[in-house]
Amino acid sequence: MKEIIHVTTQQQLNECLDIRKEVFVVEQQVDVSLEIDEFDESPESCRHVLLQQDGKPSAAGRMRPYTDDTMKLQRIAVLKSARGTGAGKAIVLALEEEAHRLGYNYTLLDAQCQAEGFYSKLGYITISTETFLDAGIPHVRMRKTL
C-alpha cells in the first residue's frame, strides 16, 4: 500500500533525507554538502513529500516557489528497491497536486538526462536548449502546465 505524507515532523524529514542520501550521495556520488541545503533544515524550510510503501519510506521529493506562478520540484529520489513500482510517479503527482492546490499554474524541474523520458511521460516538456551540469551530472530543465 502506498501512502503519501506531507512532511510536518523532523522524523519524516529525516526519512526523506535518508532516501536522498542513499540515492544521490551513495549511488550517484554527489557530495553531501551539495545535496543537503538550507531548504532541508526543518519541515518548514520548504515543502517535502515522503512516500511510504507497506509502511516503509521508499521515495521523497520537495518543492519551493520559483516564480509567482511556478513551483520548482527538486530532489526527487526513489530507493532502488522501490523503482519500477510507481513510486516516482506518485511523488511527482503528489507534488503537482499540492502546487495546484496552492494556486500555482506550472511546475518546473531540472531532470537528470537519464530521467528525461520518465518526466516526459508525466507531461513535462524540455525547455532548456542544452544540457547542463548539476553536481557533475548532466541535466535538462523541464516544465509542465498544471
Instruction: Judge contact between 67 and 74, C-beta under 8 A.
Output: no
Could you tell me the maximum CA-CA distance found in the chain, to the nearest angstrom? 41
Contacts (Cβ under 8 Å, ≥6 apart) of 53: 1, 2, 3, 82, 85, 87
Q: What is the pLDDT along the chain (146 residues), one digit of tens a residue?
A: 899 999 999 999 999 999 999 999 999 999 999 999 999 999 999 999 999 999 999 999 999 999 999 999 999 999 999 999 999 999 999 999 999 999 999 999 999 999 999 999 999 999 999 999 999 999 999 999 99
pTM over 0.85, yes/no = yes
Which pLDDT belongs to residue 86? 96
C-alpha cell at 3: 501512502
Instruction: Judge contact between 104 and 73, C-beta under 8 A.
Output: no
Which pLDDT belongs to residue 127? 98
Which pLDDT belongs to residue 132? 97
C-alpha cell at 6: 506531507
Which pLDDT belongs to residue 87? 97
Strand residues in the chain grouped as ranges (E): 2-6, 47-53, 56-65, 70-78, 106-112, 125-126, 132-134, 137-145
